[in-house]
Structure 1
């Protein structure tokens, strides 16, 4: 039964009741067994125009309802826009008697439209109420089993009270949570796609499951991993995420002049009831087979769907000379002439290879593909392009002789080329946030592997550029009983207020208290970067006012966001607009001399309208504080604020000193260890891994000095491999060092800066630099990756560089770089001589 109102479409098949908003095509509820499972079902994506814009057709958005005898298809059509210059159709499909909803969506980019990129698109089910309490996700076959014991999620309330230590990563200590791990993060619940077909939530006798009958449209092929579900401070979410740039996956890029069409799905979100979670999962698993819905999907005929009769089987036999058993190897069909893990525009299919080398890949759409074969412990891949697949065929590719990569006689090998870091220390526990905290306990002198002596436990599964957080203790230097100082900490009504500051929440209105906003605005609390900067008020146009005695003041505004770029504009007392621009995780600080002549200071905010703090100091106030503080070659974390006491900074492992620039306000004297800081700065030695630099500021009145501290930490030592040869290399011989990474990426889930990163490999003093582009440095490596050709390199050099004894190879992350933070998850390292 279908019911339409002016605002909604309601479909009731006797088992579920689905409601869709007619204005945007979004699900607003899914009722099953009298319980609403979904607060909203939201298709979201991150897209951006690339290149110049081209003319687009007039907007023609709209919802259509297709009614057939045994199903209803609600389709919403989005018109092309500047950042998404293509037609997008989203489907919610309900079938008679089924406990669930089928989802599908398709893109159609005509060649006449301009280019764009997609970093992520997915369907998100924001669950309703408190029905779901547990997650059902299979463990990684390569890691320590842990998910069943951690199935009960922390509650939304526990997450709301837990500090966020990284994007979507919470420290539960002190919350009373029964979750068995200290940290909860959505990234620990990611899965590899190779054998994945089902994930879900359950609780209170109900289950909701994402059943994926085929993964052909998922980007990245079988080695890709991504997010599937997690708890939030508002309740659990269930994801169907065919594309994202986590874990080094590339974005979808479509250029002007390029016609592109791709259909994602259909997928099936299934709901059931029961008291046994395992039985509920087995029931849901029946919905995740390709043949469970194939006939229905053929009849449904969503645009871009390839009917079963047109799909083909592709078979072959792989052989490696001298290797009788190929069990564990995988055959993949993917975009032609593209690395399989970088397939985003087309479709991918894969199959395990049996002991004898036979494989069969079923249900392949017609097209032209690359065939890739890879296997555990085998260097390189077998690749052939231009594999033609017609409609309804049984294609026999025949015998394929696969010769593993070899560059001569092997001198040593660390690890096995299996696309993971599982064999190294902590490798089986790679899905556990916070392992960096134990690195210095395991490797107090850094990681050194001695060939012939060391085991794989001498090599950590990740090489860190920093095995620590760049953070400083909370603290302020607000003088007591000093007239002429007003300090305001902006943000939410419930977040911490910096010591010595007054709270300005989103609803602190100007009035009796003598300060406040001219209207209620929004606020955000990111839970990181310190009490002063973690939260802020935000609005497109609003004013903060505070009553002050007439006179001259220095007014400082701090504006930034831990997880987003910021473009805020401010003005003082209706004066000239000032831009406060900051990148993600940065904070713009602007100080101005302002005259108050009407008993009140007005600070107006516009643009992004973020304000973290306002600091007001009378020109007549005798305050022994810093006016400015900076260091050469690094940034202070958090950014400088005159009334914050502690800052952090990190430096390269071999940096011996840092030049500190510090100026006291109003001529106050500044010294470090009793030595005055000149206008050109003062060089201060760095001692050991951690140094604390104390800066003392004194006035002329003989009062006690104000003390600031810079907590300086030097980055990790390069990792080393030490080895001897069994004799001098033959004159004219060549050596090849092969380095394979499971992943190379940012050490957090923050946006990747537009800078090249590097791994510098030094062989007996000669450096070889391996450069990575920004798009290849995505995701947090502590969760490992499953890299392909992008993360393998061969360094070939004259073997005379080697010695019979005492050879050293070192690996350093980001030599010569200042602003990056990367981690390398190692797969394997091998040296050969020919």
Structure 2
């Protein structure tokens, strides 16, 4: 079946028809996946991805250590890649998609790491899932998960701009600036000795990767390269955060997005964030997220970013995710999801003009920033309109706390016991009475859903 992909050409999006199937070729050491525009190798022993090209351009560069690869790691060492993963190749009967499920079982510890990648014939990107499990009833608790991340880590001069979002972006520091840098503290360097470096001119005298952090409202982040030399082609590589419900911490949680590496952080302890405690029976599947590649003739950074951001929608590709759900253990298909709506009568005064209150569904009984205390919890959020209405689709069945917060209002509206059922809409109507703080003490009225 013919499908379509979009490329930016100049300032316009133009559609091109693609009707060829996904190919998977096996050698003694690699699986090579390709569609008409994207090709990459999966190393059998590690599951790392290398030799990734898009439209004939090498997007990762040569392998040097871990650089030049796309891979998952665990800095806190609670989980590990065994370098002896079992592999399952899966595909559709018509050949319009194919995927690989890599399973690492550390049998001496009882941990399981399952990485899944899928390529469709019509798309210029990879769909990513990560499952983590711990099954050892006689072993100890492993402690906090800490940091888990999947990284697009190029080793190429192609990429010259770091992009957190449409507001925070800058040229990467140049070679001369890095050669003369002075480290001033952990992960922070002074680059002021090269005042003409493009990064210093645009951004700052100091470099720290955390300048390129963002919260979980981020739609897409990545790397950009403008036209150079005789070429008029611009290049982009982006982690598109199309589904966020399997992360923790809610919309206010902030973490690193890009620093020359593009990060997909499934879990972290940065900024005091909580992460789940790993005890026997823990089993969590993160994703999907979409690693997207684009190009365009004289396309600007913001044009390529906007092209990527259009896919940051939980509804996008939901039918495809349902189709591959039998191969992704732990993914919640549409059959176990419902919808949520609310009408919250907002405070008459106090909300900062030009801002929108935010509604959050997350773990029942705790603040959404602490939802990792329930490792089975999912999270959703959306802004309320001017009348206090909000609608959230594709909510996994379960019991949630509803929180509404707004700039200018002291305290939050909270409502525990909100039950969402598969195939149904749950509606809440309530009035937000702001907390008061006479003498510096607040009075918080608790509510429960009826």
- TM-score normalised by the shorter chain: which range applies? 0.7 to 0.9
- Say whether 1:92 aligns with 2:82: no
Shift of 1:285: 2.1
Return the structure number with greater relative CO, CA threshold 8 A, min gap 6: 2
- For normalisation by structure 1, the TM-score amounts to 0.44
Q: Which residue of 1 aligns with 2:340?
A: 314
- Say whether 1:224 aligns with 2:224: no
Q: 1:140-186 CA deviation, whole Å, 9 max, x = no partner?
A: xxxxx6x35xx211125532441222232221122352212101111
Q: d(CA) in 2 for partners of 1:279 and 1:60?
A: 41
Q: 1:727-747 CA deviation, whole Å, 9 max, x = no partner?
A: xxxxxxxx3367xxxxxxxxx
Shift of 1:59: 11
Q: d(CA) in 1 for partners of 2:345 and 2:163?
A: 38
Q: 1:248 aligns with which of 272, 275, 278?
A: 272
Shift of 1:108: 2.6
Q: Which residue of 2 aligns with 1:369?
A: 400
Q: Which residue of 1 aligns with 2:48?
A: 26
Larger Cα-atom Rg: 1
Give the number of equivalent residue pairs.
387
- Say whether 1:736 aligns with 2:440: yes
- Say whether 1:120 aligns with 2:150: no
- Say whether 1:331 aligns with 2:354: no
Q: 1:361-388 CA deviation, whole Å, 9 max, x = no partner?
A: 2210111211111111111122222221
Shift of 1:325: 6.9
Q: 1:489-517 CA deviation, whole Å, 9 max, x = no partner?
A: xxxxxxxxxxxxxxxxxxxxxxxxxxxxx
- Say whether 1:268 aligns with 2:290: yes
2:246, 2:287 within 8 Å by CA — same for their partners in 1?
A: yes
- Unaligned stretches of 5+ residues in structure 1: 51-57, 140-144, 231-235, 409-734, 739-834
Q: Which residue of 2 aligns with 1:300?
A: 324
- Unaligned stretches of 5+ residues in structure 2: 1-22, 61-67, 228-233, 443-450
2:91, 2:99 within 8 Å by CA — same for their partners in 1?
A: yes
Q: 1:702-756 CA deviation, whole Å, 9 max, x = no partner?
A: xxxxxxxxxxxxxxxxxxxxxxxxxxxxxxxxx3367xxxxxxxxxxxxxxxxxx
Higher mean C-alpha deviation, range 312-321 or range 383-392: 312-321
- Say whether 1:3 aligns with 2:30: no
Shift of 1:73: 1.0
Shift of 1:221: 0.5
Q: 1:380 aligns with which of 411, 414, 417?
A: 411
Q: 1:192-224 CA deviation, whole Å, 9 max, x = no partner?
A: 213x11112111421111111111112100111
Going from structure 1 to structure 2, the CA distance change for 1:243 and 1:59 (only over 3 Å counts) comes to closer
Aligned with 2:436: secondary structure?
coil
Q: Which residue of 2 aligns with 1:168?
A: 187
Q: 1:237-286 CA deviation, whole Å, 9 max, x = no partner?
A: 11111211111201321234xx3322111111111111212322222222
Shift of 1:321: 5.4
1:59, 1:79 within 8 Å by CA — same for their partners in 2?
A: no
Q: d(CA) in 1 for partners of 2:346 and 2:236?
A: 46
Q: d(CA) in 2 for partners of 1:33 and 1:49?
A: 38
Q: d(CA) in 2 for partners of 1:214 and 1:329?
A: 21
1:36, 1:128 within 8 Å by CA — same for their partners in 2?
A: no
Q: Which residue of 2 aligns with 1:407?
A: 437
Counterparts of residues 95-114 of structure 1 (less than 5 Å)? 95-110=120-135, 112=137, 114=140
Higher mean C-alpha deviation, range 106-115 or range 203-212: 106-115
CA RMSD of aligned residues (A): 2.4
Q: d(CA) in 2 for partners of 1:80 and 1:386?
A: 38
Aligned with 2:197: secondary structure?
coil
Aligned with 1:221: secondary structure?
coil
Going from structure 1 to structure 2, the CA distance change for 1:123 and 1:60 (only over 3 Å counts) comes to closer
Q: Which residue of 1 aligns with 2:306?
A: 282
Aligned with 1:287: secondary structure?
coil
Counterparts of residues 503-514 of structure 1 (less than 5 Å)? none
Shift of 1:322: 4.2
Q: 1:531-559 CA deviation, whole Å, 9 max, x = no partner?
A: xxxxxxxxxxxxxxxxxxxxxxxxxxxxx
Shift of 1:126: 1.0
Q: d(CA) in 2 for partners of 1:23 and 1:59?
A: 5
Shift of 1:49: 6.0
Q: d(CA) in 2 for partners of 1:48 and 1:313?
A: 37
Going from structure 1 to structure 2, the CA distance change for 1:321 and 1:171 (only over 3 Å counts) comes to closer
